[in-house]
Structure 1
Amino acid sequence: MLIQDNAFTISMPRMRFHARHGVMPQEQQVGGEFMLSLVLHIDGRNAHHALCHDELEGTINYAEVYDIVGREMKQPSQLIERVAARVARCLLRHFFTLRQVDVEVTKCVPPIPGFDGEGVTARYSLRRQLVAWDFDGTIADTSHGIVQTMTETFRRMGWAVPSDEAICSTIGLPLQASVAQLAALPCGNDEVQRATALYRVLFEQVGTVGVTLFPGVDEEMCRQHESGMFVAIATSRGHDSVRCLLEQLGVLRYVDYIVACEDVIAHKPDPAPVERLCELTNVLPADTTVIGDTTFDIEMGRNARVGRCIGVEWGNHSRKMLIDAGADFVLRNF
């Protein structure tokens, strides 16, 4: 154990396994000898009980690590690169206190004619990272349904119907705040609360029809999930609503956590949704990326001091608005 800069590492070097990793038929059938080395990085603040009180809480159970590695080594892969990535991802997911995993997998006797060396080694490092996605206007094109639902809500309330542009400018805010702003009424007004409840009913009837994923979103969420990042949703939509839409669109399987309107007291552009996701995943704000289509998303990320704020220009706010709000860059497509 090496204590340094309020962090420490645990090393498990040169563990030996017989496994069936490789491309050649003999490697897959008979197997060969492999070595695997680990360096596990843990924040000192998470391991206070171990560092200061000689208690297991906050550190890593080495026996559990070895069992996980052993299970992964038993699963044949053609490439040792894939083995290293699998081990790192499994360990980060299993141990909440891990900040980073460094893996080395060595094929001791590679099938190379005339090879005279100490094996071939693949090295891989995986850091605990979080991607916090907005939903409306970032993952899914819901603007048409939102405009239709808000228009019908105002019509049934007997209020002057706002323009489509005015409605779209409030997408990203909590629903009650959007209704209040469009109706020019206080947020806690009884009529605003009644209109908000009506909107929720109407949206499930008409707003979800025709909701589609933006191009490239499925592939990007899949890539992030497979690479070991925590994929999460930070939305002003209701929890049940966004979960149902994610399932309907086929991307719920990539999502680890959802923080929706009712899950936090303060909402975008307040940092609370991102801060809650960082708590749930034990990811540092500096290792977090926010992706969104509105200034509310970018300002939330900046207020949470995340590592990167990425805007998307296919949503509800313009490229200039996103850059002015502090986006590190704005995507035209994935």
Structure 2
Amino acid sequence: MAQILDYSAGYPGAENVRRMGFAGVIRYLRKEGSSRVRPLTAAEVADMRARGLGIALVYQHVSTSRVSQGRAAGRHDANWALSQARAVGIEPRAIYFAVDYDAGPGTVVEYFRGACDVLGVGRVGGYGGFRVVGHLFDLGLIRWGWQTVAWSAGRREGRAHLFQRLGQISCGGIRCDVNDVLKADYGQTSGPGSDEEDDMPYSEKQLEDVVYRAVHNLLIDAHSEVPGMGAGAANALRGILAGLAGPDPAEFAAVLAGPLAERLIAAGALGITPDQVADALSGVLGQFGIAAQQPEREGSVP
């Protein structure tokens, strides 16, 4: 039986996931509000895809009880989750919404109705114990089910796509939960079992977009107050260009260096300076022995 990992404390790296024999990951989308959870990044997406691993998505609000707050809350969170998936380069086939406590099944129904209003039931998944997942399937409010061993009293929901096991393992120095893949297609965007069409070769513009998001997130995370965030993002970037650049990575890097610098400065994330942009680009592009073009320092990019 294939298995995938979920984790929230850092980025173990796709090569470590693959080496340990896992088929993919299910990852948290960036939360709305302050959180210590390390969310999925564009760099991590590229890293996983470059190694043929599946990526599924889960969203959980900073307030665990959010799922009991009704239809409007579900609509809002679904819109937020969709925007965060697209921000890392994924048009989601499924987003699992987490019921991460022993909730009464009836208390979360309206929240999932709201999620379906935005995404359509075909893209809505639910995470929770036996009763919650089963009830949502019974009402036709989820297409995808992820059951946890917690709050399940040893019972198994036969319609579930994933089952989260008891206990954790270490992968790349990060504590991870292990999940059994019960159905080959669990809404993942790539990797074995996905119904998603094989990725077409990236155009130059698409490549620029992917690397832009990766470096942009690295710069944001490096300024985060969460200890080690910058180091984790940097580790996630390793191998991204090698997986995307194709047979001539040097030419690829040289073409992108200038446009990336301009876009990153224009974003102005958290007061990032041109010098910091240049340093980040140099670190990424330096893998190919290419010096990042120095952006203009007179004034700011409009």
TM bin, normalised by shorter chain, reads: under 0.3
Higher radius of gyration, 1 or 2: 1
TM-score with structure 1 setting the length: 0.22
- Comparing both chains, which one has the higher relative contact order based on Cα–Cα distances under 8 Å and sequence gaps of 6 or more? 2
- More strand per residue: 1
TM-score with structure 2 setting the length: 0.24
